[in-house]
Chains A and B, each alone.
Chain A
Amino acid sequence: MSATGIGAPVRRTEDFRFITGKGQYTDDINRAGQAHAYFLRSPHAHAEIVKIDASKAKAMDGVIAILTGDDLAADKIGGLICGWMIHNKDGSPMRAGGHPALAQGKVRYVGDHVAVIIAETYQQAKDAAEAIDVTYKTLSAVADIDSALKKGAPVVHDVAPDNTVFNWHLGDKAATDAAFAKAKQITKLDLINNRLVPNPMEPRAAVGDYDAGTGVFTLHTTSQNPHVARLVLSAFIGIAPEHKLRVIAPDVGGGFGSKIFIYAEETVCVWASKKVGRPVKWTSDRTEAFLSDAHGRDHVTHAEMALDDKGRILGLRVNTKANLGAYLSTFSSSVPTYLYAPLLSGQYNIPAIYCEVDAVYTNTAPVDAYRGAGRPEATFVIERLVEVAARERGEDPALFRRKNFVTQFPHQTPVIMAYDVGNYSASLDKAMDMADVKNFGKRKKDSERNGKLRGLGYSAYIEACGIAPSQAVGSLGAGVGLWESAEVRVNPVGTVEVLTGSHSHGQGHETTFAQLVSDRLGIPLDQVAIVHGDTDKVQFGMGTYGSRSGAVGMSAIAQALDKVIAKGKKVAAYALEAAEGDIDFKDGRFSVKGTDKSLAFGEVALQAYIAHKFSGQQLEPGLKETAFYDPTNFTFPAGVHICEVEIDPDTGVTRIDRWTAVDDFGVVINPMIVEGQVHGGIAQGVGQALLEGAHYNKDGQLVTASYMDYTMPRADDLPSFAVGMTSTPCPSNPLGIKGCGEAGAIAAPPAVINAITDALGHENISMPATPQRVWQAAQQSQRKLAAE
Chain B
Amino acid sequence: MAHASATEAHAHEHATQEHHGPQGILKYLWSTDHKVIAMQYLFTGMFMAMVGGFMAYVFRMQLAFPGKSVPLFGYVSPGEYNALITGHGSIMIFWVAMPVLIAAFGNYLIPLMIGADDMVFPRINRLSYQIFLLSVLVILSSLFVKGGGFGGAWTSYPPLSANADYNLTPLGSSMWLVAVALEFVAFLLGGINFITTLMNARAPGMKAYDIPMVPWMIVIASILFMLSVGPLFAGAIMLFFDQNLGTGFFDPTRGGDPVLWQHLFWFFGHPEVYVVLLPAVGIVIDIVATFARKKLFGYKTLLYTAVATGVLSFFVWAHHQFIAGIDPRMANIFTVTTLLISVPIAEMCFVIIATLYGGDIRLKVPMLWALAFVGEFLIGGVTGIFLGASGADAYLHETYFVLAHFHYTFFPIAIIGTFAGFTYWFPKMFGRMMNETLGKIHFWGTIIPFNFIFIPLFVLGLDGQQRRIYNFQNFPELQHLQPVRILATISLVVMLFFQLFFFWNVIRSWRKGPKAEKNPWKSNTLEWTTESPPPHGNWPVDEMPKVYRGPYEYNHPDREEDYWPQNLPA
- Is B a genuine binding partner of A? no
Please list the residues of chain A having a beta carbon within 8 angstroms of any beta carbon in chain B. Answer: none
Please list the residues of chain B having a beta carbon within 8 angstroms of any beta carbon in chain A. Answer: none
